[in-house]
């Protein structure tokens, strides 16, 4: 990627000169805007924050759109001839061999082929009728187990035409969790993509209720015919059945369960969160008020998993707005993505989106790629970039000497245009969620893309609806005020030292109430009652377990987590206790503490090795060392313990992200006397983190 072309140094020097000659405006001396407003809503404290935009909670985007089925039908009528769902044509596939002998698939992709809103509604209706003709019973559930694509959303909306509850399952879910999810919900119809058929064939004998499997077709689809106990039908065949045998719709009410969404469980098997139609619609209606001027002219790039509430809500917002949704993937996102054949445009270049949702890992990847190219070019290019970045950053952060006016225009054209072309060149707003976004990356996107980043906070249990930063809020590290579909309050957590009476800002557990609060966990009343509570005024609240603080303007900042459960950069949850319990069985381990940072995609570990075991290995391997402390520093010893931990992790069926990517061997035992463990030898996590802070930081470098 070339950041600059020609002799831009002259042009940018002129721009700076013009910028300095124009009288300075008093940038940044604005009165602080109140974004969240205190309100009495009952409950433990009787005090919560609502969004400043609406005195009453928003429930629907317009009158009558109370369910997903109604919203989709009405939007399709309003926007009948507008582009709705776009899919890229696959021209060819080829397999190339890398320098290390590994094989990679490369795709030659064409332009986007579009379905109009009118066409999408017809296809969803046909699919719904096809389900009836296929024999799907009225009160049975259907599951979607596939990567995101246009047919995913069509099947999803089709199910709602017959008031069928949809079970959503991550395409990356392991066999045990998949079997559990399908059997627990007694799914009778499973909708999947071709690559999942092999996985299903391997577990077919364990599936108790499946009767029908419907698969999406690809250009190279080959179907395994070993499903003797199921009917196997293609998506297009179901559509054809429905077109020839139209069934009268059986529409849901807003209180009906629309989705049972299985989350990647923090411990043990995943939990199914029950969402009503009203839950999903209210969050979409609220987000509509936050994204500036969203509408038919917008084009949205969809590549995140639809089985995750973040992407599901984002696409529901786009359908509500009448925007065009073009499907891509994380592996074909840009011109240099792993699966893109050289010379082929990435999804962003082909689509030229105006809106997209992103998880921090994607934005970090873009930032790192740009900085790598800038550093490689060096010289004038690097100096111009750094100077331009500094000027634009000053403007965004309110400095009197920040770039503005003609200078801003020159900077945009000369310095940042090439960078903005990575995501198509037309991006005007980005939604970010799924994990915390680092301050540096957020600022980098503000400067280089020249757009606001709407950083959201929500959970599956709140249907993604909790807090969302606003387009004109230039601060970093905060998640904004509550969405106008709900309230947020803080409840003191005395054990952790977080109190709502804390100064200068109240702190406590984040508790969310309002229209987006889901019904609870499927067939798990005990866990539901633990975290969903109804106050004396009938308001239903979800206790998140996250610790937050409210800024004076009503914006929320997440600062901690009550439990030892951490969401990694890609959105996976890791239970530190579960992983530690599994790895403790390694014969080299005396004590172990796993550490996870939300700004990284992997975990690390501090290990006190068993002196006898590691010294016995060293003797047999011929490793020379002065003392035990010296042995713990040896790269060979670290490697031996690391490999042993990986074997234990694999035997315990831990996911890859749960296996420590790096470890540090510590020679001194953790004892109650050292203050690092309790009398019962339980880890004092905060004390260990504090004592070995530098070691942990080095493991992430």
pLDDT digits (tens, 9 = 90+) for 489-505: 999 988 777 899 999 99
User: Which fold does the domain 68-354 belong to in CATH?
Assistant: Rossmann fold (3.40.50)
Q: Give me the residue label for tokens 């411990």.
A: 267
Burial call 528-561: b when 16+ CB within 10 Å, e when fewer: beeebbebeeebbbbbbbbbbbbbebbbbbbeeb
Nearest to 411 by CA among 423, 395, 427, 430: 395
End-to-end CA distance of the chain: 26
Alpha carbons 125 and 272: distance in angstroms, whole number: 27
User: Is residue 165 within 8 Å of residue 192, measured between CB atoms?
Assistant: no
The ranges of the chain annotated as CATH 3.30.300.30 are: 567-700
Would you say the pTM of this structure is higher than 0.85? no
| Residues 147-156 pLDDT 10s | 999 999 999 9
Nearest to 68 by CA among 252, 311, 329: 252
β-bridge partners, 302: 327
Neighbours of 122 (CB within 10 A): 17
Which of 84-88, 252-256, 653-657 comes out lowest in average pLDDT? Answer: 653-657
Q: Taking 60 as the threshold, does the pLDDT of residue 441 lie above it? A: yes
| DSSP class of 444 | H
The ranges of the chain annotated as CATH 2.30.38.10 are: 39-57+358-425+427-561
- Rounded to 5 degrees, φ, ψ at 375 are -65, -35
Alpha helices in 325-378 (DSSP H): 347-351, 360-377
User: Is residue 443 within 8 Å of residue 387, measured between CB atoms?
Assistant: no
| pLDDT at site 46 | 57
User: Is residue 48 within 8 Å of residue 494, measured between CB atoms?
Assistant: no
- The CATH architecture that domain 39-57+358-425+427-561 belongs to is Roll (2.30)
- Superfamily classification of domain 567-700: ANL, C-terminal domain (3.30.300.30)
Nearest to 303 by CA among 235, 258, 361: 361
| Residues 156-190 pLDDT 10s | 999 999 999 999 998 877 788 899 999 999 999 99
Q: Are strands 324-327 and 299-302 parallel, antiparallel or unpaired?
A: parallel
Alpha carbons 188 and 111: distance in angstroms, whole number: 37
If pLDDT is split at 50, 70 and 90, which confidence band does 581 have? Answer: confident
Nearest to 249 by CA among 121, 61, 120: 121
Q: Taking 90 as the threshold, does the pLDDT of residue 85 lie above it? A: yes
Cis, peptide link before residue 481, omega less than 30° from 0? no
Residue 170 — left, alpha, or beta (φ > 0 → left; ψ -120 to 50 → alpha)? beta
| Residues 534-574 pLDDT 10s | 988 888 999 999 889 999 999 999 887 777 768 888 788 78
H/E segment holding residue 241: helix 235-244
Q: What percent of the chain has pLDDT over 90?
A: 58
| pLDDT at site 220 | 67
User: Is residue 542 within 8 Å of residue 462, measured between CB atoms?
Assistant: yes
User: Is residue 606 within 8 Å of residue 688, measured between CB atoms?
Assistant: yes
Q: Is 304 exposed, middle or buried (0-12, 13-18, 19+ CB in 10 A)?
A: buried
The mean pLDDT of 133-152, rounded to a whole number, is 94
- Rounded to 5 degrees, φ, ψ at 70 are -65, -45
Q: Taking 70 as the threshold, does the pLDDT of residue 402 lie above it? A: no
Alpha carbons 621 and 616: distance in angstroms, whole number: 9
The mean pLDDT of 286-311, rounded to a whole number, is 95
Q: Count of alpha carbons within 13 Å of 141, Cβ hemisphere only? A: 23
Q: Taking 50 as the threshold, does the pLDDT of residue 642 lie above it? A: yes
Most confident of 195-209, 323-337, 376-390: 323-337
| Residues 673-688 pLDDT 10s | 687 876 446 688 888 9
The mean pLDDT of 323-351, rounded to a whole number, is 93
Compute, in degrees rounded to 10, the torsion defined by CA atoms 625, 627, 628, 633.
-50
User: Is residue 301 within 8 Å of residue 328, measured between CB atoms?
Assistant: yes
The mean pLDDT of 324-351, rounded to a whole number, is 93
Q: Give me the residue label for tokens 């994380």.
A: 330
Q: What percent of the chain has pLDDT over 70?
A: 90
| pLDDT at site 290 | 92
Nearest to 560 by CA among 616, 615, 598, 610: 598
Q: Which two tokens stand for residue 240?
A: 């054809």
Q: Is 236 exposed, middle or buried (0-12, 13-18, 19+ CB in 10 A)?
A: middle
The ranges of the chain annotated as CATH 3.40.50.980 are: 68-354
Q: Give me the residue label for tokens 């002065």.
A: 626
Most confident of 14-23, 156-165, 621-630: 156-165
Cis, peptide link before residue 504, omega less than 30° from 0? yes
Q: Compute the chain's Rg from CA coordinates.
A: 27
Alpha carbons 578 and 571: distance in angstroms, whole number: 18
């Amino acid at each position: 990627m070339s950041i600059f072309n020609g002799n831009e140094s002259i042009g940018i020097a002129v721009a700076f000169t013009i910028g300095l000659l124009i009288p300075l405006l008093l940038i940044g001396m604005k009165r602080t805007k109140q974004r969240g407003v205190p309100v009495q809503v009952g409950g433990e404290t009787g005090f919560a924050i609502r969004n400043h935009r609406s005195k009453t909670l928003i429930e629907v985007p317009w009158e009558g759109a109370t369910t997903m089925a109604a919203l989709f039908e009405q939007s399709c009528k309003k926007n009948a001839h507008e582009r709705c769902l776009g899919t890229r044509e696959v021209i060819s596939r080829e397999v190339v061999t890398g320098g290390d002998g590994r094989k990679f698939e490369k795709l030659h992709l064409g332009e986007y082929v579009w379905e109009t809103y009118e066409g999408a509604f017809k296809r969803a209706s046909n699919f719904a009728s096809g389900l009836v003709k296929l024999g799907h019973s009225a009160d049975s559930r259907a599951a979607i187990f596939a990567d995101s694509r246009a047919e995913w959303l069509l099947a999803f909306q089709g199910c709602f035409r017959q008031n069928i509850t949809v079970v959503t399952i991550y395409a990356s879910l392991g066999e045990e969790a998949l079997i559990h999810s399908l059997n627990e919900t007694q799914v009778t119809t499973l909708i999947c993509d071709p690559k999942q058929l092999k996985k299903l064939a391997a577990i077919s004998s364990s599936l108790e209720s499946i009767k029908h499997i419907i698969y999406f077709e690809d250009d190279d689809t080959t179907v395994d015919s070993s499903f003797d106990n199921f009917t196997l039908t293609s998506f297009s065949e179901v559509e054809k059945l429905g077109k020839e045998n139209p069934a009268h719709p059986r529409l849901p009410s807003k209180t009906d369960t629309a989705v049972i969404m299985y989350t990647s469980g923090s411990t043990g098997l995943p939990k199914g969160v029950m969402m009503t139609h009203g839950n999903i619609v209210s969050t979409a209606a609220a987000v509509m008020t936050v994204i500036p001027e969203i509408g038919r002219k917008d084009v949205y790039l969809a590549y995140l998993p639809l089985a995750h509430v973040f992407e599901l809500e984002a696409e529901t917002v786009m359908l509500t707005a009448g925007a065009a949704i073009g499907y891509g993937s994380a592996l074909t996102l840009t011109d240099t993505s792993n699966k893109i054949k050289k010379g082929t445009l990435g999804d962003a270049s082909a689509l030229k989106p105006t809106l997209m949702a992103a998880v921090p890992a994607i934005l970090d990847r873009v930032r790192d790629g740009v900085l790598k190219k800038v550093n490689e070019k060096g010289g004038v290019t690097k100096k111009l970039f750094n100077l331009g970045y500094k000027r634009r950053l000053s403007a965004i952060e309110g400095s009197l000497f920040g770039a503005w006016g003609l200078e801003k225009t020159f900077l945009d054209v000369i310095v940042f245009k090439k960078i903005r072309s990575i995501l198509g060149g037309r991006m005007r707003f980005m939604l970010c969620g799924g994990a915390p976004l680092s301050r540096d990356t957020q600022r980098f996107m503000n400067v280089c893309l020249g757009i606001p980043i709407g950083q959201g906070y929500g959970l599956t249990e709140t249907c993604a609806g909790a807090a969302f930063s606003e387009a004109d809020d230039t601060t970093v590290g905060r998640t904004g005020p509550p969405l106008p579909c709900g309230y947020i309050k803080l409840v003191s957590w005395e054990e952790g030292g977080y109190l709502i009476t804390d100064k200068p800002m109240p702190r406590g557990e984040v508790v969310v109430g309002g229209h987006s609060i889901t019904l609870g966990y499927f067939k798990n009343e005990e866990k539901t009652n633990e975290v969903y509570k109804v106050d004396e005024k009938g308001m239903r609240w979800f206790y998140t377990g996250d610790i937050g603080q409210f800024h004076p303007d009503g914006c929320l900042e997440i600062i901690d987590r009550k439990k030892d459960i951490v969401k990694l950069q890609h959105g996976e949850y890791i239970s530190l206790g579960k992983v530690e319990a599994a790895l403790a069985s390694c014969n080299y381990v005396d004590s172990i503490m796993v550490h996870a940072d939300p700004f990284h995609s992997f975990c690390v570990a501090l290990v006190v090795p068993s002196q006898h075991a590691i010294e016995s290995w060293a003797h047999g391997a011929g490793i020379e060392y002065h003392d035990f402390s010296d042995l713990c520093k040896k790269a060979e010893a670290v490697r031996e313990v690391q490999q042993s931990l990986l074997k234990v992790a694999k035997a315990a069926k831990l996911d890859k992200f749960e296996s420590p990517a790096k470890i540090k061997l510590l020679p001194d035992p953790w004892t109650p006397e050292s203050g690092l463990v309790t009398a019962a030898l339980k880890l004092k996590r905060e004390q260990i983190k504090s004592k070995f802070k530098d070691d942990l930081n080095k493991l992430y470098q």
